[in-house]
Amino acid sequence: METEKSNVSKAEEFKLLANEAFNARKFSQAIDLYTQAIELNSQNAVYFSNRAFAHLRLEEYGSAIQDATKAIEIDPKYSKGYYRRGAAHLGLGKFKEALKDFQQVKKMCPNDPDATKKLKECEKAVMKLKFEEAIAAPESERRSIAESIDFRTIDVEPQYSGARIEGDAVTLDFVKKMIEDFKNQKFLHKRYAFQIVLQTREMLQALPSLVDIHVPDGKHFTVCGDVHGQYYDLLNIFELNGLPSEENPYLFNGDFVDRGSFSLEVILTLFAFKCMSPSAIYLARGNHESKSMNKIYGFEGEVRSKLNETFVELFAEVFCCLPLAHVINEKVFVVHGGLFSVDGVKLSDIRSINRFCEPPEEGLMCELLWSDPQPLPGRGPSKRGVGLSFGADVTKRFLQENNLDLVVRSHEVKDEGYEIEHEGKLITVFSAPNYCDQMGNKGAFIRFEAPDLKPNIVTFSAVPHPDVKPMAYANNFLRMFS
């Protein structure tokens, strides 16, 4: 009896420490402390609900759903459990499941104005989704939006003073002028935006799903992780490491857009470099280069606001052309998310994926975009609710079977901008410092020198940007939780 009492009071101490860590934005630390509280007292719904909240902050929606569900099981009348689970479903774009949870919150707290407001927004989102599903043409009848656009017929008004492409070639002078204009929050004319996106589409379409990159001896190659619409931090990377060129090539490893509110500037700059010199820059698809994510996390709203609806459809189409992975000098495997739920996957299997579609919810393509490493061996459920978690043994086997040395992936915020795991065989690199203006993390990129391809990691801090908040264009409903 005494031990039980002592455990309960110790658990409360851990909870208070966890709350402090949470308020200091140390979400991983908060999760560890809530876990210790739960180990001492597993019948307290608040601990699970609070841990769910910390998982939400780290975008670990799968773990948040598990914890919130546990809180509800312990105390079916605990409205915060439903509230947190609804928010997690929303983060995964599962509006219908979110709606059920918010209906429950409203039932429990009929006079809570916040619950009423969120329920209304959720109902709106579900209605919109149903309408879009109803009017969507069947897959077989869908026409390519790109093929209906002729940018040459678009006139450029005489008063337009921004960057101009003369003829068909995107030059370095044009790219530099465009970067300067974007820096000063000026827009690029639609004609040139169409030209860049259409030319990039043509180039990407011709590539395989797995691209081989050759770096000659004595030359270097830079890999960057998620940029997430943080345009001024992207320019800082170029400041630190030089502009992309044939002599200074880059691979941007997915998640160019969403969350940060300068996603359009990021994607047009990366695409313009690709048009200028295809071997100066390589681009991989991330889980955020997809319609479902762009609808929620801001890119769709931003494109609609800065350009128009046609561009929303065009970007969705071009994102489906992005390769899924790269191999540098037959030694370094670079992918946005991670590895697979089955052993024996060969590079030839990745090469033969038909990637020209929205990412499915399971299978190799989904796992390449969504999976994460875990410290334990074997495989486990995904903390995100999509893909899976894989251990060092899975990484080692994949590398051995494909005669590779290293996996480089992105997809996760890291305090130092990078993390080396799985006995040095896996590196996570993340290039959006002070992510969403609130995480306080550094950014990083990796420079590889041929022939030894030893990873040289460079870290950097966030730079100031104009006063436009992250998620400024995100789905209304999601902004309520940010």
Q: Catalytic residues, which ones?
A: 288
Asked whether 146 and 314 are in contact (CB, 8 A), the reply is yes
Rounded to the nearest 10°, the torsion over CA 379, 289, 297, 108 is: -40
Nearest C-alpha neighbor of 235 from the set 371, 432, 413:
432
**Tokens coding 256:** 């160019």
- Reported for 303-308, long-range contacts at CB under 8 A and 24+ positions apart, including other chains, are 303/264, 304/473, 305/473, 306/187, 306/264, 307/190, 307/193, 307/264, 308/190
Q: Which residues pair with 327 in a beta bridge?
A: 212, 333
DSSP letter at 416?
Answer: T
In order of 65, 148, 379, 391, the CA distances from 375 in angstroms are 21, 49, 10, 6
| Contact yes or no for 434/456 (Cβ under 8 A) | no
What is d(CA 389, CA 375) in angstroms, rounded to the nearest whole number?
9
Beta carbons within 10 angstroms of residue 476's beta carbon: 10
Strands (E) located in 278-331: 281-283, 325-328
Q: How far is Cα 244 from Cα 224, in angstroms, rounded to an integer?
A: 12
